[in-house]
Structure 1
Amino acid sequence: MKWRTLVLFSLAALLLLAGGRPAGMPKAEAAPVWNLTWSDEFNGASGSAPDGGKWGYDLGAGGWGNNELQNYTNRRDNSYLDGSGNLVIKAIKENYNGSAYTSARLLTKGKFNQAYGKFEARIKLPYGQGIWPAFWMLGSNLDQAGWPGAGELDIMEYLGHDTRTVYGTVHGPGYSGAGGISKSYTLPSGSFSDSFHTFSVEWEPTQIRWYVDGNLFHTFNKSQLGAGQTWVFDHSFFMILNLAVGGNWPGYPNASTVFPQTMTVDYVRVYSQGSSPSAPVESGAVYKLINVNSNKALDVYAASTADGANVQIYTDNGTGAQRWQAFAQADGSFTLINPASNKALDAAGAGTADGTNVQIANQNGSAAQKWRITANADGSFKLINVNSGKALDVSSSGTADGTNVQLWTDNGTGAQKWRLVKL
């Protein structure tokens, strides 16, 4: 240790022992707490389509503003689940409607969008000259504001001829196209096409941060913008996964480029930032859940213990049908077990659509029986089903005894707010 460093270190230690800290020394701050709001784990049969409740498609050719060569399709040839928990996007060299290549571009537009939070995907990338995959976002007001007025946030872009480097970029008014604000990350060893890597951004009202495998490599602050540049990251965005072939930036395939090429996605997950842990829930404790809108309890119909018995709201009566024992899971979620039946609170058929029925079912450890319990500002909680990313909801905001309980897109209403009362 150099003498100067030793002196400064000793001074800092003395100040801390005296109850102070050196001027300019940062205060310790807790790391952000991220609560899952949406996810797709891509569980499904081999060759099946991605979940249509979560993903749509951009279709066609025409260069996509970058002189790209592919024709995007919604065929299973170009996008499918592999049966091992992955989404595969495949670029194929073939003649198709006047194009020499086909591929796929999936997006959550009109199905899911969010302002701020953590957006993350685990992906194994393709390789080769002219190969251009990306995980990125566009403002949900795109149809009204256009590009770049709506904003573009590129979580990960990659040029297949350089298999060790990815890019994180923002585009907005006054800093779009080649003028986008960008930085790159290069693997210290290995290749992005050899194995899966995790790509994420943490987006706050005045700052965006980019990570690869948890390593911070780019920070963009609102204060960086100058005259003629506008911050447009103050509204919701939707996500895009695509695999392009050719274009102004990556260049074009040549004799060295191997086809087909595949972009394999293990998961996509979206979180919102909380100021406290998911919930002060004690694993093993028994609770009743009181719906804020109706003041009625989460209840098993007719106190049934049968597999598939319906779950409803009902006047709080203290019976076993209204008791739920919480058990913490390794991923931070909880299973809720009805002690009277020893069955779990479950999304019927592992459904993900709005209106999916909620029931009790034999414990099976699936994501359909896992719930993230997240604090609301008013002291209530929302319960988000891990498999669907949707909230435990009282149908039509009903208040009558026997009103059905279902999954529904998280909307912050009283029908999705629950008071947890420990028994």
Structure 2
Amino acid sequence: MSSLSRLRLTMAVPTLLLSLQLVGAVNLESSVKADGSMSRAAHMKRQHHIHRPHVKYHSLPLSWGGSHATPSILAEIDEATRDEQDNASKSARATTTLPPVRQDGKFPVINEWACALMCAGHAKDGCCSYKDNAQRVGDENDGDNFEDDTGLCEFQEGYAFVDSKEADEWASAACFAGYETSKCAEWRRGRCNGLGKTETASMGLPIWELVWEDNFDHLTCVPDSAGVLRPNPHYWTAEVGYKRGKELSWYQPQNAECKDGRLIITARREQTKPGAQCELSNYNPGASDPVLNDASCSICGPPNFTYGAPCDLLQNDDSGAPVCDCSGGAEYTSASLLTRNKVEISYGMVEMRAKIDTRPGAWTSLWSVGDVDGVPWPKNGQIDILDAFQGMMKASVVHAGESGLPSEAIQHAAARTTTPEWEQVYHTWTMEWDKDFVSMRVDRQEVMRLELSVANPERTTWPNPFTNDKKFFLILNLAVGGSSGGDPSVSDFPVKFEVDYIKYFQKKSRTDR
């Protein structure tokens, strides 16, 4: 077996053990259809649209790429390693100045353990190399002189094989990306020599500042008139009515409850008035508003699910409910919450710990949409942090194509399969959004990374919606049916989407190397 094969096998094995129930990543870019049967479109108000594109996924290949790297940075450390770490820390504290970084990217370190810590700071899959007892090079003025007891450390991003030709001088370890850092372990003789560019291993770690959080407990949730705790209205607005993508669920506030420190969104199969039609309610039209009646409201419910006038007109009682009230004949109810005009995000990190259910008919989502007045979808941009349905979950980024039309929107996405057993426990979804990229992670494993330059005007002819001056709001919902959810008639109800917390961080600075 070649050195390259051995390294790849070593990198893949721990991933296999942790990924038996979460496999099959695939990245793609595709045109997104926007006709009534293929898109999820919402109208928050008459001029503002939110779309949820639908992409048909075929069989997902099993892939052991960088996104499947072992996530843990809390691996057990034996006593000998702890002693070594303590000695390295004491030595580092005793050093008042660090040796200079050489121009070739190698960085002087005191020992192998310190080298691994510096390589881990890159928070990327790669390969870390350490050379013990660096030799003096050049004259005393060329900046390349090091003490004999100082080693050299370097990092290569991506896969690299260990070149045994330099086994006498170098040792190398594979690095697996984790949560704002990496784990570099399994040292072997030889030097990393692969496709990645060699970099200094002295990169600092990001320092995150908590900007906003909701733990859905008694400190944030607010009791309603019946004493039931509901999501904080200072953070969340509950949608009312049929929304987006021909979903079968009638959204209403009472399907979202705070209980035992969790937000529980419950989708129910219920029909309060079987056969009931949509009814006009609380509507006093102005001079420019259309004249409506019960018959004209019929297009707002099944089987038509028309979005736009008159179905986006709201009742005049500040309830947020549409004037065409179709709740009586709704077969399914659920809840959808959004933070528009209350909590908005941009560059930073969003993290959610939750438990999902993707049985047929259930469509669980945490997503964000650009809140730019007068800019329609997809020009305003969209980031799907969690989009789970029919035994799979995906992450995606959507922006306008050259025409700017919804029918030609571009979606970059990655998906993984789930199992009923995997869905029985809580998992953590993370979206990191920087000026250059957006990264989606599940349980600290990167599912998708996208360079945001793909949405630059040179390619799309439209302003990039993912720049720091653009604000996005969050949407948290459990849909039933629709263009992706599947057939709910074959599933048992109720279905629950349980959220432990949602947090938003911004990058304050970085640590010193």
Please, what TM-score do these two structures have when normalized by structure 2? 0.47
Q: 1:224 to 1:147 in 2, by over 3 A?
A: closer
Partner in structure 1 of residue 216 of structure 2: 42
CA distance in structure 2 between the partners assigned to 1:11 and 1:223 by the alignment:
43
Letter matched to residue 235 of structure 2: K
Deviations 1:331-388 (A, max 9, x none): xxxxxxxxxxxxxxxxxxxxxxxxxxxxxxxxxxxxxxxxxxxxxxxxxxxxxxxxxx
Of 227, 242, 246, which residue of structure 1 is paired with 2:477? Answer: 242
CA distance in structure 1 between the partners assigned to 2:357 and 2:168 by the alignment:
52
Is this contact kept in 2: 1:127–1:261, CA < 8 A?
A: no
Partner in structure 1 of residue 451 of structure 2: 221
**Quick check: 1:69 aligned with 2:301?**
no
CA distance in structure 1 between the partners assigned to 2:169 and 2:208 by the alignment:
33
Q: How do 1:252-291 residues align onto structure 2 when only pairs under 5 Å count?
A: 252-254=487-489, 256-276=490-510
Indicate the SS of the match to 1:119: strand
Q: 1:146 to 1:48 in 2, by over 3 A?
A: same
Partner in structure 1 of residue 258 of structure 2: 81
Task: Quote the offset at 1:275 in angstroms.
Answer: 1.3
CA distance in structure 1 between the partners assigned to 2:169 and 2:238 by the alignment:
57
**Quick check: 1:199 aligned with 2:429?**
yes
Partner in structure 1 of residue 117 of structure 2: none
CA distance in structure 1 between the partners assigned to 2:212 and 2:416 by the alignment:
27
Task: Quote the offset at 1:8 in angstroms.
Answer: 5.6
CA distance in structure 2 between the partners assigned to 1:151 and 1:8 by the alignment:
50
**Quick check: 1:60 aligned with 2:241?**
yes
CA distance in structure 2 between the partners assigned to 1:80 and 1:57 by the alignment:
11
Partner in structure 1 of residue 466 of structure 2: 233
CA distance in structure 2 between the partners assigned to 1:258 and 1:250 by the alignment:
14
CA distance in structure 1 between the partners assigned to 2:423 and 2:164 by the alignment:
48
Task: Quote the offset at 1:252 in angstroms.
Answer: 2.3
Task: Quote the offset at 1:190 in angstroms.
Answer: 6.1
Partner in structure 1 of residue 394 of structure 2: 167
Q: 1:218 to 1:156 in 2, by over 3 A?
A: same
Partner in structure 1 of residue 162 of structure 2: 5
Indicate the SS of the match to 1:193: helix
Is this contact kept in 1: 2:358–2:388, CA < 8 A?
A: no
Q: 1:156 to 1:11 in 2, by over 3 A?
A: farther
Instruction: Using the aligned pairs only, state the percent identity.
Output: 28
Deviations 1:373-411 (A, max 9, x none): xxxxxxxxxxxxxxxxxxxxxxxxxxxxxxxxxxxxxxx
Indicate the SS of the match to 1:144: coil
Partner in structure 2 of residue 132 of structure 1: 363
CA distance in structure 2 between the partners assigned to 1:237 and 1:153 by the alignment:
9
Deviations 1:282-308 (A, max 9, x none): xxxxxxxxxxxxxxxxxxxxxxxxxxx
Is this contact kept in 2: 1:116–1:236, CA < 8 A?
A: no
**Quick check: 1:27 aligned with 2:257?**
no
Is this contact kept in 1: 2:217–2:262, CA < 8 A?
A: yes
Task: Quote the offset at 1:150 in angstroms.
Answer: 1.3
Of 374, 389, 414, which residue of structure 2 is paired with 1:144? Answer: 374
Partner in structure 2 of residue 402 of structure 1: none
CA distance in structure 1 between the partners assigned to 2:192 and 2:398 by the alignment:
40
Deviations 1:44-88 (A, max 9, x none): 278311111111122111xx331111111112xx00111x11001
Is this contact kept in 2: 1:93–1:259, CA < 8 A?
A: yes
CA distance in structure 2 between the partners assigned to 1:179 and 1:50 by the alignment:
33
* Number of residue equivalences: 262
Task: Quote the offset at 1:12 in angstroms.
Answer: 8.0
Task: Quote the offset at 1:9 in angstroms.
Answer: 5.5
Q: How do 1:335-374 residues align onto structure 2 when only pairs under 5 Å count?
A: none
Indicate the SS of the match to 1:89: strand
Q: 1:80 to 1:10 in 2, by over 3 A?
A: same
Instruction: Name the stretch that deviates more: 46-55 or 238-247.
Output: 46-55
Please, what TM-score do these two structures have when normalized by structure 1? 0.57
Deviations 1:154-209 (A, max 9, x none): 000000x31xx31001111129678411001345x764420110011000012000
CA distance in structure 2 between the partners assigned to 1:180 and 1:21 by the alignment:
36
Stretches of structure 1 lacking an aligned partner (at least 5 in a row): 278-423
Q: 1:236 to 1:21 in 2, by over 3 A?
A: same
Task: Quote the offset at 1:126 in angstroms.
Answer: 2.0
Q: 1:11 to 1:134 in 2, by over 3 A?
A: farther
Letter matched to residue 258 of structure 2: L
CA distance in structure 2 between the partners assigned to 1:196 and 1:274 by the alignment:
29
CA distance in structure 2 between the partners assigned to 1:261 and 1:196 by the alignment:
15
CA distance in structure 2 between the partners assigned to 1:8 and 1:208 by the alignment:
38
Indicate the SS of the match to 1:227: helix
Higher relative contact order (CA 8 A, sep 6+): 2
Say which one has the larger Rg.
2
Of 119, 125, 136, which residue of structure 1 is paired with 2:350? Answer: 119
Q: 1:11 to 1:171 in 2, by over 3 A?
A: farther
Q: 1:222 to 1:9 in 2, by over 3 A?
A: farther
Is this contact kept in 1: 2:246–2:482, CA < 8 A?
A: yes
Is this contact kept in 2: 1:130–1:250, CA < 8 A?
A: yes
Is this contact kept in 2: 1:12–1:21, CA < 8 A?
A: no
Letter matched to residue 503 of structure 2: R
CA distance in structure 2 between the partners assigned to 1:257 and 1:144 by the alignment:
40
CA distance in structure 2 between the partners assigned to 1:194 and 1:21 by the alignment:
41
Letter matched to residue 267 of structure 1: Y
Q: 1:252 to 1:190 in 2, by over 3 A?
A: closer
Name the structure where helix makes up a greater proportion of residues.
2
Task: Quote the offset at 1:21 in angstroms.
Answer: 10
